[in-house]
Amino acid sequence: MTKGIRLGSTLSAIILLSTFMGTEAFAGSSVFTDSSTFTFPKNAVTHLGPPAPTEMAKALSLMSVDTTGKVTNTDLTVEDFNGFLQDSQAISESSTGHTHLGDGGSFADKTFGEYLRVQVKNTTDSPHRAFGRISIGCTGTLIGPREVLTAGHCVYDTDSDKWYANLKFSPAQNGTTQPFGAISWERAYAVRGWVKDHDTNYDFAVLILKEPVGEETGWLSFGFNNELTSRDVTVEGYPGDKPSGTLWTATCPMKDLGGEQISYLCDTYGGNSGSAITTGEDRIVYGIHTNGTPKVNRGTRITGPIFHTISGVCKSEN
């Protein structure tokens, strides 16, 4: 199979800004929940207003599980978090105003008639082949050779307080066709703010695959930008109300950018959870679609600290 063109810009030295301190040794084990009963969380909450640095450092501490159920914690100190803020401020004041990495129910989504989804027929074209279906019934986006960005509730069930095990990733899936196969996973990362606090502001995760399928498909850049309100956003994924395994995309104006959330009127449905929220021709990922309300759909915004958290995972896995 011919290798695809890599998407986005080359991995830069800025990834070195994100260094996690002190991984705890074996922190316990998890009995996986029944992945066949995947549902959207009913007990998740959204905390309003910016938390204190101490609280945010705790919320962004990593938790991960491997396929055996071994759980590992990686604590983020207040000093680390303050370093993230300083780095983010320096980047925001730079000439570009943003940065990105890469190469090459309360949770029932709302459908809107104005910004409808369009089916992607040629899923192996760029950039569509960077998107894939997670077998549990979610969407993920390749942001590295083995790294898949998705929603936290796609890897950890807050209702049962257990991790999911059915997490194979099929990039560019088109119905029953899986052009690059269904790639098994090796480790799933989420943060304490989601796993322990069930806070929707931290509803994001990174799935590590066993094979570097991104070397064939390419992957998208991800970043943070505090001045996105005048841009259109695109949400692309695998909604459950369409024929199984089909990829759909919608583009719409951003409605609001506030705190840890992005709001928009793009048409979505359950199954879009974990879809990348992208902007521009380069399709840079600035958020992760998570849920909808009666008025808008929304996702977790990649803020400076969340950017550093995700890039820290990518760094630790390469």
State the catalytic residues: 153, 273
Adjacent-strand bridge partners of 291: 298
- Residue 71, judged by CB atoms within 10 A of its CB (0-12, 13-18, 19+), counts as middle
- Look at phi and psi of residue 137 and say left if phi exceeds 0, alpha if psi is from -120 to 50, else beta: left
Residue 138 token pair: 């979610």
Query: Could you give the count of Cα atoms lying within 13 Å of 308 in the half-sphere of its Cβ?
Result: 23
- Residue 29, judged by CB atoms within 10 A of its CB (0-12, 13-18, 19+), counts as exposed
Query: Could you give the count of Cα atoms lying within 13 Å of 44 in the half-sphere of its Cβ?
Result: 24
Taking the C-alpha atoms of residue 55 and residue 284, their distance in angstroms, rounded to an integer, is 29
Taking the C-alpha atoms of residue 262 and residue 228, their distance in angstroms, rounded to an integer, is 10
How far does the chain reach from its first CA to its final CA, in angstroms? 23
Nearest to 153 by CA among 246, 289, 261, 247: 289
Residue 16 token pair: 């070195």
Taking the C-alpha atoms of residue 39 and residue 317, their distance in angstroms, rounded to an integer, is 29
Alpha helix stretches (DSSP H) within the chain: 53-59, 78-92, 192-195, 214-217, 304-316
